[in-house]
C-alpha cells in the first residue's frame, strides 16, 4: 500500500536499506562478488577430505590393515624357516631380527601406494572424480589430505605388523636410533603415497594401476635388500641396488632398529640417505603439484 514504508537494496551490497537509512539485514554480511571467502588455507576442507579418505579404508580395516599385516607376516615365517635355521647371523643378529624391520617398512610402503592409487582412479572409472575437483581446495591442500590419509594407513599397518612380529619367537625390535625409524618410515610411506597418487592420475582403468604395482612396486620392494645384505651380491648388482630408492628406505629403517646397515660404514652415510629420501619426496611432490594444477587426465 502507498502509506507503508518501503525498503531499498543498495547496489553492490548484500543488505537491505530501511527507510531510516539503517541496514535491515546487518547481521547477514556477505562479501562482494568475486571476493574470496577463504584467504589462506582451507583447514576445514582439508580435514574433511582427510577424514573421508581415512574412514574409507578404516571401514574395511580387515582388508586394508589386518590382511596386509598377515600377508607380510607370512614372509617372515617362510624365510625364517627356509633360511634362518642354524641360528644364522646377519649384521650381528639372528635372521628373524634382521628381516623383521625390512618387512615392516615394506608393508607400510606398499599399502601407502595402494591407498593413494585408488581414489582418483575409482573416481574416474565411476564418474565421481568431480567430488575431488569441485570442492574449494587448492592442489596443495588436495595433495596433503590424500597423502596424509595414505601415510595414516601405512602407520596403522606398520603398528599391526610390529605387534604381530613381537609375538614371533626370536624377533627383537628394540630401537637403537628412533629418529631413523620415524623418518624413514614416514618418508618412505610418503614417497609411495606420492607415487600412487601420480599413478592414479595417469591410469585410466584398474589394469593400468595393477601393472604399476606388479611390474614396478613389487620388484623394487623385493629386490631392495629386504631379505639380504647387498654385500653378498656381485658388484654390478650392488650398483643396481644403490640406485633403487627402496633400498635406502628399507636399510635406513633397519638401521633405526639394529644400529647398523649396509648403506655405508658410518652413521653419516645413513644421514645422507635420509636427506636424499627427503629431497626425492620434495621433487616428487613438486611434479605431482604441477600435474594436478594442469588437470592432466582429470579435467576433460
Domain boundaries, the chain: 41-294
Query: Torsions phi, psi of 17, nearest 5?
Result: -90, 125
Average pLDDT in the 267-279 region?
Answer: 94
In the prediction, which pLDDT does 138 show?
A: 92
Q: 268, 215, 267, 275: which is closest to 245 by C-alpha?
A: 275
All three cell numbers of 13: 551490497
- Comparison of pLDDT for 150 and 72, the residue scoring more: 150
- Comparison of pLDDT for 215 and 85, the residue scoring more: 215
What are the C-alpha distances in Å from 290 to residues 49, 118, 139, 295? Answer: 20, 20, 8, 9
pLDDT band, residue 36 (cuts 50/70/90): low
Q: pLDDT digit string (tens) for 185-200?
A: 999 999 999 999 999 9
Write down the mean pLDDT value for the chain: 86
State the residue for C-alpha cell 576445514: 44
pLDDT of residue 155 exceeding 90: yes
Average pLDDT in the 106-116 region?
Answer: 95
pLDDT of residue 142 exceeding 60: yes
17-21, 76-80, 108-112, 164-168: the lowest-pLDDT one: 17-21
Asked if 164 and 73 count as a contact pair (C-beta separation under 8 A), the reply is yes
pLDDT band, residue 264 (cuts 50/70/90): confident
State the residue for C-alpha cell 587426465: 297
Chain mean position to CA 59: 18
Tell me the CA end-to-end span of the chain in Å, nearest whole number.
54
In the prediction, which pLDDT does 1 show?
A: 46
pTM: 0.84
pLDDT of residue 225 exceeding 90: no
Amino acid at each position: 500500500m502507498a502509506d507503508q514504508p518501503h525498503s531499498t537494496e543498495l547496489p553492490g551490497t548484500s543488505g537491505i536499506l530501511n527507510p531510516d537509512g539503517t541496514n535491515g539485514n546487518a547481521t547477514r554480511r556477505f562479501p562482494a562478488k568475486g571476493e574470496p571467502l577463504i584467504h589462506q588455507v582451507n583447514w576445514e576442507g582439508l580435514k574433511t577430505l582427510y577424514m573421508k579418505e581415512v574412514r574409507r579404508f578404516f571401514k574395511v580395516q580387515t582388508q586394508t590393515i589386518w590382511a596386509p599385516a598377515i600377508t607380510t607376516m607370512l614372509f617372515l615365517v617362510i624365510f625364517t624357516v627356509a633360511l634362518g635355521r642354524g641360528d644364522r647371523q646377519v649384521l650381528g643378529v639372528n635372521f628373524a631380527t634382521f628381516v623383521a624391520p625390512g618387512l615392516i617398512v615394506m608393508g607400510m610402503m606398499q599399502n601407502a601406494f595402494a591407498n593413494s592409487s585408488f581414489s582418483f582412479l575409482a573416481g574416474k572409472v565411476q564418474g565421481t572424480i568431480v567430488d575431488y575437483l569441485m570442492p574449494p581446495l587448492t592442489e596443495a591442500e588436495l595433495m596433503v589430505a590424500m597423502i596424509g590419509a595414505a601415510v595414516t594407513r601405512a602407520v596403522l599397518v606398520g603398528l599391526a605388523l610390529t605387534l604381530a612380529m613381537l609375538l614371533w619367537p626370536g624377533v627383537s625390535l628394540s630401537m637403537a636410533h628412533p629418529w631413523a625409524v620415524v623418518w624413514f618410515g614416514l618418508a618412505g610411506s610418503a614417497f609411495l603415497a606420492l607415487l600412487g597418487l601420480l599413478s592414479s592420475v595417469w591410469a585410466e582403468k584398474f589394469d593400468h594401476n595393477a601393472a604399476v604395482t606388479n611390474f614396478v612396486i613389487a620388484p623394487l620392494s623385493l629386490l631392495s635388500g629386504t631379505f639380504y645384505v647387498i654385500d653378498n651380491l656381485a658388484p654390478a648388482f650392488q650398483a643396481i641396488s644403490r640406485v633403487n630408492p627402496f633400498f635406502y628406505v628399507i636399510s635406513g629403517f633397519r638401521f633405526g632398529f639394529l644400529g647398523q646397515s649396509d648403506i655405508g660404514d658410518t652413521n653419516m652415510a645413513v644421514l645422507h640417505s635420509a636427506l636424499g629420501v627427503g629431497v626425492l619426496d620434495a621433487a616428487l611432490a613438486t611434479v605431482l603439484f604441477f600435474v594436478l594444477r594442469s588437470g592432466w587426465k582429470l579435467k576433460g
